[in-house]
């Protein structure tokens, strides 16, 4: 195969499967828990 040969693949085929939107929920929940934990530390250990 030559180096200048272009291969085109659809986004779904390149991912090799479905991508559920769980990541955004994990990020939101962990960010919320972190803010709550830091606020609790600030309040109780001031």
How many folded domains does the chain comprise?
1
pTM more than 0.85: no
Q: Is residue 39 part of a domain?
A: yes
Q: Is residue 2 part of a domain?
A: no
The angle subtended at Cα 9 by Cα 8 and Cα 11, nearest 5°, is 135
Q: Is residue 5 part of a domain?
A: no
Q: Is residue 34 part of a domain?
A: yes
The Cα–Cα gap between 1 and 7 comes to 11
Q: Is residue 27 part of a domain?
A: yes
The Cα–Cα gap between 46 and 43 comes to 6
Q: Is residue 30 part of a domain?
A: yes
Q: What pLDDT, on a 0 to 100 scale, did the predictor assign at position 42?
A: 96
- pLDDT under 50: residue ranges of the chain: none
Q: What pLDDT, on a 0 to 100 scale, did the predictor assign at position 1?
A: 55
């Amino acid at each position: 195969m030559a180096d200048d040969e272009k291969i085109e693949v659809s986004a779904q085929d390149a991912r090799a499967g479905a991508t559920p939107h769980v990541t955004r929920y994990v990020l939101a929940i962990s960010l919320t828990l972190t803010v709550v934990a830091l606020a609790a530390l600030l309040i109780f250990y001031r």
